[in-house]
């Protein structure tokens, strides 16, 4: 397999990465503890000098690694390490075999959205049940190489679960700051299980971020929220993996839920790097969907043209996207502009119905993920997505991340609004209590159409 060595040598000339401010463009080799530009205070992004490469050789190299038993090659992130020159030594990689998540066809959801065909890239099939693992392996590995003993994050749930697991794997200590009473118990249980020091603060997510930002300036602890640019470097590999699964046929649209907006930014960054390197010839449109109660990006784009963030007091049952002051909003706006994408918002009832419909396709997801299908329906009705076009939904979390939400929905206890309840009623499937006899069960089967 001579092409493997050729490809690695060709891409190796990228050399060391640099960090570039997305605001003023200032370059630096080392970031401060809060990963903000020292000149203007904006976020940083990893940049590289891309060489001329043979796209076919690179694609074959990545495909060949899928058959390898080497630990790096079995990671769906580090298999693409040629485009991740963020470590001096790959022996520092901390991996739980993240990535390599399935791409499902979802025919029932396609019919609901009014499309001929629909695909779902299920990042909830990562080791800790969410897309955060693909970014966490990258950022934790950098922290380990730099010699940190402590890592920390503010979280609505998935970040804390992922960070705690990877820190435990690396032999590091982890600190989790979460808003009191505003986290799904399934996610909180994970951070506890993996040994994190878990603090519930009497504030919202954005308040937790403020405390963390001050903390990292006063204590030698490595920040692992999505303002850390290395998180996005890991998360961008979803684009590489997705395109490989599609045999490098670029979809017309990729639909992503929007919370802190790092994931849509990372996927877009990966897409743009593939395009710049000549591995793909066109760009998909990337669409970001938010909950109506946490719609900072929607308002920012619609009211200021993406020029000035309009923060909101976030409130939604989709806890993973309950963020009112998203850190990566400028990066997300840039991706929307580069790909010709759009933003949309959906109601709590629309999210709940979409979640049930994805469940009817047999794969399930957490509430925030279902915002993608709910938003897609609107994009189709608006004519922004055509019936015959190819679309991929990014499902960010596993259905078991928030089982309480699912149970309340099917019991009719999730949404107290009578209008919302009427919208969701047809999709609820509550458990039925019966006597323990066959005669009690048979009428139920016949009524459901299974007795024919």
Tokens of 88: 């001096």
Per-residue b/e over 34-57, b at no fewer than 16 CB within 10 Å?
bbbbeeeebbbbbebeeeebeeeb
The pLDDT of residue 450 is 52
Checking if the pLDDT of 9 tops 80, the result is no
Is residue 46 pLDDT above 80, yes or no? Answer: yes
CA nearest 118: which of 316, 306, 395? 395
**pLDDT tens digits for 382-440?**
999 999 999 999 999 999 988 899 989 998 889 877 777 778 888 888 889 999 999 99
Question: Residue 436: how many CB atoms within 10 A of its CB?
Answer: 6
- Report whether pLDDT(6) > 60: no
Tokens describing residue 210: 């403020």
| CB of 283 closer than 8 Å to CB of 272 | yes
Residue 435 pLDDT: 92
pLDDT, tens digit, for every residue of 306-330?
999 999 999 999 989 999 999 999 9
Residue 2 scores a pLDDT above 50? no
Say whether pLDDT at 4 is over 80: no
Please say if the pLDDT value at position 172 is more than 70: yes
Structure tokens at 207: 């308040």
| pLDDT cut 70: percent of the chain above it | 95
Q: Report the pLDDT value the prediction gives residue 421, as an integer from 0 to 100.
A: 74
Q: Would you say residue 271 has pLDDT above 80?
A: yes
Indicate whether 182 pLDDT > 70: no
pLDDT tens-place string over residues 314-372: 999 998 999 999 999 999 999 999 999 999 999 999 999 999 999 999 999 999 999 99
CA 30 to chain centre: 26
Closest CA to 295 of 315, 317, 320, 265: 315
- The DSSP 8-state label assigned to residue 286 in this structure reads E
Which pLDDT does position 451 carry in this prediction?
A: 41
Query: Which of 128-132, 157-161, 196-200, 223-227 shows the lowest mean pLDDT across its residues?
Result: 157-161
Supply the pLDDT for residue 225: 92
Mean pLDDT, the chain, as a whole number? 92
What angle (nearest 5°) sits at the alpha carbon of residue 291, between those of residues 119 and 270?
50
Q: Which helix (H) or strand (E) holds 288?
A: strand 285-291
CA-based torsion, 258, 262, 265, 269: positive or negative: negative
Residue, of 97 and 451, whose pLDDT is higher: 97
Q: Give this prediction's pTM.
A: 0.92
Pair 370, 122: CB distance under 8 Å: no
Distance CA 237, CA 233 (A): 7
Mean pLDDT of 95-99: 98
Q: What is the pLDDT of residues 201-243, one digit of tens each?
A: 999 888 999 999 999 999 999 999 989 999 999 999 999 999 9
Q: How far is CA 220 from the centre of its chain?
A: 28
Neighbours of 242 (CB within 10 A): 22
Rounded Cα–Cα distance for residues 209 and 154 (Å)? 6
On the question of pLDDT at 265 being above 90, the answer is yes
Question: For position 423, what pLDDT does the model report?
Answer: 81
The residue among 230, 227, 203 whose CA lies nearest residue 327 is: 227
Which CATH topology does 103-128+233-427 take? Rossmann fold (3.40.50)
More reliable by pLDDT, 82 or 50: 82
Listed residue (83, 84, 75, 47) closest to 274, CA to CA:
83
């Amino acid at each position: 397999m001579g092409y493997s060595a050729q490809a690695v040598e060709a891409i190796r000339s990228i050399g060391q990465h640099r960090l570039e401010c997305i605001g003023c463009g200032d370059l630096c080799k080392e970031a401060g503890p809060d990963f903000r530009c020292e000149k203007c205070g904006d976020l940083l992004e990893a940049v590289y000098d891309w060489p001329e490469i043979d796209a076919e050789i690179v694609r074959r190299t990545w495909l060949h690694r899928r058959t390898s038993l080497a630990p790096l090659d079995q990671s769906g992130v580090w298999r693409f390490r040629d485009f991740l020159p963020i470590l001096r030594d790959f022996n520092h990689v901390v991996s739980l075999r993240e990535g390599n998540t399935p791409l499902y066809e979802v025919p029932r959801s396609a019919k609901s959205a009014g499309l001929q065909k629909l695909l779902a890239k299920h990042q909830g099939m990562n080791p800790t049940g969410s897309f955060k693992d693909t970014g966490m392996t990258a950022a934790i590995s950098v922290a380990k190489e730099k010699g940190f003993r402590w890592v920390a994050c503010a979280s609505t749930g998935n970040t804390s679960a992922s960070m705690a697991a990877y820190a435990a794997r690396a032999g590091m200590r982890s600190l989790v700051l979460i808003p009191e009473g505003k986290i799904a118990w399934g996610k909180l249980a994970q951070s506890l299980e993996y040994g994190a020091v878990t603090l519930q603060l009497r504030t919202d997510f954005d308040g937790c971020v403020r405390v963390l930002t001050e903390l990292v300036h006063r204590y030698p602890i490595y920040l692992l929220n999505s303002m850390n640019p290395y998180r996005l470097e890991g998360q961008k590999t979803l684009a590489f993996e997705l395109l490989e699964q599609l045999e490098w046929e670029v979809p017309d649209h990729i639909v992503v839920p929007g919370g802190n907006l790092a994931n849509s930014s990372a996927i877009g960054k990966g897409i743009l790097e593939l395009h710049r390197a000549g591995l793909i010839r066109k760009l998909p449109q990337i669409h970001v969907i938010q909950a109506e109660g946490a719609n900072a990006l929607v308002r920012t784009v619609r009211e200021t043209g993406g020029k000035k963030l309009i923060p909101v007091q976030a409130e939604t049952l989709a806890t993973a996207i309950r963020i009112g002051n998203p850190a990566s909003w400028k990066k997300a706006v840039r991706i929307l502009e580069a790909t010709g994408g759009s933003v949309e918002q959906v109601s709590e009832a629309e999210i709940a119905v979409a979640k049930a419909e994805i469940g009817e396709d047999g794969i399930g997801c957490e509430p925030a993920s279902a915002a993608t299908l709910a938003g897609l329906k609107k994009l189709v009705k608006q004519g922004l997505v055509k019936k015959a076009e190819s679309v991929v939904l990014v499902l960010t979390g596993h259905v078991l991340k928030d089982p309480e939400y699912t149970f309340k929905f099917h019991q009719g206890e999730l949404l107290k609004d009578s209008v919302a309840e009427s919208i969701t009623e047809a999709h609820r499937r509550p458990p039925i209590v019966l006597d323990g006899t066959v005669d009690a069960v048979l009428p139920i089967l016949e009524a459901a159409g299974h007795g024919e």
